[in-house]
Amino acid sequence: MSVQTFFQKDSYLSNTSRSLIAGFVGGLAGSALKSIIEQFLPVRQVEDRSAQIKIVDDLSTKITGTPVSTRNEALAEQLVNIPFGGSLGAAYGYGKKDRHGLRPVDGVVFGLTTWTTTHETSLPILGLEPKPTDTPIRMQLNELFAHVAFGVTTEIVRHYLDEQLKK
């Protein structure tokens, strides 16, 4: 059986595989767009390091004994953002495997949920970001917008790729 034939089948394994792949790629696209948006709309104070940099810096220090150099911070940040976004997208794709059609509202909800569960709760609790009450509202809105764009992009790409894999 060819890969194309496998994806065209209407079986649990085919639908699940197609949904995971489409969601993963959608999450990668959403992460890329979110990163671009964050280049133009500030999401943190200049002196604040991102949670991603803090995580990679800590890991680098534990493994190599030295933190990530400042010239490599942008790359290090994406080494966390891209796989995280792809993983979230894969989970989203799996959750959408039985829901057919393009539903941008689902992407909005996905983006809102991602923002709430990361920047508004878990990252501040872990001490990786300031508390929401310590973050200017403008920056919170920028972060929210970037996450909604992430979610909608994930949904659009997921839907398109899912349809293409069925052909």
pLDDT of residue 14: 86
How much is the pLDDT for 86? 97
What are the residue ranges in the chain where pLDDT is below 70?
A: 1
Per DSSP, the three-state class of 71 is: helix
Taking the domains of the chain in order of start, what are their residue ranges? 3-47+82-166
Instruction: Give the pLDDT confidence score for residue 130 in this predicted structure.
Output: 92
Cβ-proximal residues to 77 (8 Å cutoff; 6+ apart), any chain: 50, 52, 53, 56
Angle CA 85–29–38, to nearest 5: 75
Helix (H, G, I), strand (E, B) or coil at 140: helix
**Dihedral sign of CA atoms 153, 37, 141, 76 in order:** positive
The 10s digit of each residue's pLDDT in 20-64 is 999 999 999 999 999 999 999 999 887 788 888 888 889 889 999
